Structure 1
Amino acid sequence: YSEEGWITPPWSGEIIEDKIYGRGSTDMKCGTSASIWTYIILNKFKTKFSGKLTLTCVSDEETFGPWGSRWLIDNEPEVLGDCCLNGEPSSPFTIRYGEKGLLWLTFKVQTDGSHGAYTHLSKSATLVATDLIQELKSLEALDVEVPHELRKAQEKSATAFDQGMGVGAANIAPKVTLNIGTISGGLKNNMVPSECSFEADIRLPVGCNLDKIFNSIDEITKKFPEASMEQNMLNPPSHCNPDGDMMQILKSNVQDLRGFKPEPVVSLGGTDARLWRYKNIPAYVYGPTPTGMGSTNENVPIDDYLHLVKTHALSAYDYLTN
C-alpha cells in the first residue's frame, strides 16, 4: 500500500489525538480484537452460562473466500450456535440485522474494430459497452417488495443510518444499486476499439426477486449481440428478526453505556454474518464507525474501541445467562 496521504505510516498503529491509525484499524482489527477480548473475559464466568461461547476468526472475509467461515460452517457446525455477534464496522448508532446481497458480473464486448478515421466500418466496442452500462443502470429503478416489518424498521432508522454511513445511505438501502468497478478497452487513440470489458457490482436489497433481476439483465444483454456475460459471484441478501433477543440486549447495553439506543438497519456491504443467516441463525453486527475504511488515514477512536469491547462482552454475557 502507498503511504501517500497518510498522516502516519499505514502499518504503524500509531495513536494520535486518542485515535488508533492504521490499515485495517476499523475494518477489521477493532471488531476482531473485541471478539477476542469478549472470549477471554467471559471465559472467567463460563460456569454461570446456560450455554457456551465459540470464537471464530478468519482471514478471507474480504474476498468472500472458501477457507474461512464458509469452511468452518461446512466442517465445524458448532460455530453456528444459536446466535452470532459480529464486530464489522457499523457505527455505534446502528445494529445490522441484515445485509444487501451482491451479484458480480463481467461483460465482454467484441467488434471488428478499425482505424479511428473509419468509424463507418465497425462499431466501437467501448461505445457499445457505454450503451450497455447505461441500460444496466435501469436495474436501479426496479421495484423491490421489502417485507412490511423490515420496511417499518428501515423507515424508523433512516436518520441513524445516514449518521453512521453517510447521507443517502438510508435512501439506497432498499434499492438495487449498480457500480462499474473496472473497465478496459482500446489500444490507441486513433483506433476504433475491437474489445472492451467491464465488471459490474450489483447490490441486491432484502426483498428483491432474484429471478426478476436475472430476467432483466438477460433482456438488456439481448439488445447487444456484441456482448457476452459471465457471472463471477452471487450472494443473496439476508436478514433476521430486527426485534430479536440479541437486538434488544445490544440496545439495552448501549443505552446503559452511551445513553442512546442504536437503530436496526440493513447493511449496504457484505459480511460473513450472512452465512449464519443463510442457516437461519440470527446474526447481528455492531461495530465501530467506518472512518477511512479501505482508504487513507483509516482510524478508530480509542473510546469507540473500548465501547465495542464492553458492549460485546456484556451482551454475550446477558445472552448466555438469560
Structure 2
Amino acid sequence: MAEDEVVGLTSELIRIDTTNTGELGTTVGERAAAEYVGAKLAEVGYEVTYVESGAPGRGNVFARLEGSDPTRGALLIHGHLDVVPADPAEWSVHPFSGAVQDGYVWGRGAVDMKDMVAMTLATARRFKRDGVVPPRDLIFAFVADEEAGGAYGSQWLVENRPELFEGATEAIGEVGGFSVSLAEDTRAYFIEIAEKGIAWMRLRARGRAGHGSMIHDDNSVTKLAEAVARLGRHQFPLVITDSVRQFLEGVTGVTGIPFEEEDMDGSVAKLGPLARVVGATLRDTANPTMLTAGYKANVIPSVAEATVDCRVLPGRQEAFERELDELLGPDVEREWITHLPPVETTFDGELVDAMRAAIVAEDPTAHTLPYVLSGGTDAKAFSTLGIRCFGFSPLKLPPDLDFTALFHGVDERVPVEAIQFGTRVLDRFLRTC
C-alpha cells in the first residue's frame, strides 16, 4: 500500500539536503534528490526522464503514466525538490534528520514540500506495481529551484522543454487541500485556485560620498532608509477579488461568521491564526527584506540598496506601481529582480468535483473551499502553457496545529497520520480525475 511507504519516503527525502540559497554556487542536493526519485520510479517500471534545467546539478525528473482515454488532456502532478535554508542551532532536531517522532516527520521540507513529493511518489509507485490505468494520462514532475522563483526549474523547463508537458490541460501541486478546523468538528479543506503575483524589487538611492565625521546633506543611506520605512509602514488598499469573495462566502456558509467590508480586518481577525493567511490576500503587500550599504564605518557611501518582497493581487499591477512611485519619491530608483504574474482559475468542473469526492470519501463531514495563496508556486510557470492550475496537496491536520507557520519555519514537521491520509486521498483522486 502506498500509505505504508509514504512516511519512509518523506523521511528519506528530507535527509537529502536540497538547500536552495538562490545562488548557483551554494545551492546543493537537487541532483541527488532527483536521482533518488528517478530510481524509485524506475524500480517499478517507469520510463524516467532526467533533465538539468539551465545549470549543472539543477535536477528534474519526469515520468508519464498512460490513461485509458488518450483524447482527454493530461493531468500534471508537480512538486519541487528544493528547500529553503535552515540553521540547525535553532531546531529541536537536526533539520535534515528526517526524524520520525511524536507522531510527526520532522525536517526542512516536511511541509514545503517533500511530503507531497513523497505522497505523489508513493501513489505513482503503487499504480505502476498494481497495473492501475487512470482515466487520463498522468505526468509526474519533480522539479528544481521553486524556492528561488524557478529560473533554474519550472521557468526554464517551460521555455526550453515544453514537450515534457505535452497534452497537459490541468495541474495540481502545492499549497492546498489541507484541512483547517473552523469550529469544533468542522473541517474545511482549502483548495488553491489563485495566487498573488511575485515581484521582488531592488531599491537604490544615490548620494555624495564623504567622510563620516562631516555634516552631510546628501546621504544615500538616509534617503533609502526613509523610503524603506515609508514603504514598510504603508497599508495598501483593501481589494476583494472574485476568488477571495468566493472564499469568504464559503467560510460564512460553514461557520456563520459574516465578513463586512466596512470592517474586513476585524471580521477576518475572528479566524484566529488563519487571519494572517487570509489577511494577506485582501491587499497588496511590499515587505522590505534586505539592506545593503557602505564598506567602512567612517565612509558615507554613494549608493545604498534594499530588497523588497512585493506580492500583488490579480489585476492590480499598474495601480500598485503607481502607489509605489508615490511612496518612494524621486530620490529612489526601483527595478524588478523577479516579476512573476498572478495565477487565477475558477472553482468548478470535473477536476474540482473529483478533488471534493476524494476528500469526502476519507473525511465524510469535510467541506471544501477555494482560497487564494499569498505566496507563489511553480503554477506561475505551468499556467503560461495554458494549464489550469490548482493547489491540492491533501492533509488532514490536528485542529491545534498552526500549519501555515511551519512553512519556512523552525521545527518544520508534518503529522504521520496527515500524510497517510493525503496518500489515500491522492490515490482516490488520481483514479477518478
Please say whether Structure 1 and Structure 2 have the same fold, judged by a TM-score greater than 0.5. Answer: yes
* Structure 2 unaligned spans of 5+: 1-85, 180-188, 255-267, 396-402
Contact 2:238/2:282 (CA < 8 Å) preserved in 1?
no
Q: Say yes or no: does 1:170 pair with 2:278.
A: yes
Q: Say yes or no: does 1:229 pair with 2:334.
A: yes
Correspondence for 2:431 among 280, 296, 317: 317
Larger deviation, residues 192-201 vs 294-303: 192-201
For 1:39 and 1:27, the matched residues in 2 are separated by: 20
Q: Which residue pairs with 1:97 in the alignment?
A: 193
The Cα of 1:33 is off from its aligned counterpart by: 1.0
Give the TM-score taking structure 2 as reference length.
0.65
For 2:226 and 2:251, the matched residues in 1 are separated by: 34
Q: Say yes or no: does 1:111 pair with 2:207.
A: yes
Contact 2:176/2:190 (CA < 8 Å) preserved in 1?
no
For 1:293 and 1:270, the matched residues in 2 are separated by: 12
Contact 1:238/1:277 (CA < 8 Å) preserved in 2?
yes
The Cα of 1:191 is off from its aligned counterpart by: 5.7
Larger deviation, residues 249-258 vs 88-97: 88-97
Correspondence for 1:76 among 150, 162, 178: 162
Q: Which residue pairs with 1:269 in the alignment?
A: 375
Secondary structure of the residue aligned to 1:83 is strand
Larger deviation, residues 126-135 vs 87-96: 87-96
When residues 157 and 129 of structure 1 are mapped into structure 2, their CA distance, relative to the original with a 3 A threshold, is: farther
Matched residue type, 1:257 = E
* Structure 1 unaligned spans of 5+: none
Q: Which residue pairs with 2:11 in the alignment?
A: none
Contact 1:94/1:164 (CA < 8 Å) preserved in 2?
no
For 1:40 and 1:164, the matched residues in 2 are separated by: 39
Matched residue type, 1:56 = A
Corresponding residue pairs, total: 312
Q: Which residue pairs with 2:311 in the alignment?
A: 203
- Larger relative contact order, structure 1 or 2 (CA cutoff 8 Å, min sep 6): 1
Give the TM-score taking structure 1 as reference length.
0.85
Contact 1:10/1:22 (CA < 8 Å) preserved in 2?
yes
For 2:405 and 2:116, the matched residues in 1 are separated by: 14
Q: Cα RMSD (Å) of the superposition?
A: 2.8
Q: Which residue pairs with 2:118 in the alignment?
A: 33
When residues 291 and 305 of structure 1 are mapped into structure 2, their CA distance, relative to the original with a 3 A threshold, is: farther
Contact 1:139/1:213 (CA < 8 Å) preserved in 2?
no
Secondary structure of the residue aligned to 2:87 is coil
Q: Summarize deviations over 1:150-171 as a string: whole Å, max 9, x none.
A: 2431313558998797332212
Matched residue type, 2:124 = Y
Matched residue type, 1:313 = D
The Cα of 1:29 is off from its aligned counterpart by: 0.7
Matched residue type, 1:156 = E
Q: Which residue pairs with 2:245 in the alignment?
A: 152
Correspondence for 2:407 among 289, 293, 308: 293
Secondary structure of the residue aligned to 1:94 is strand
When residues 140 and 126 of structure 1 are mapped into structure 2, their CA distance, relative to the original with a 3 A threshold, is: same
Q: Say yes or no: does 1:8 pair with 2:115.
A: no
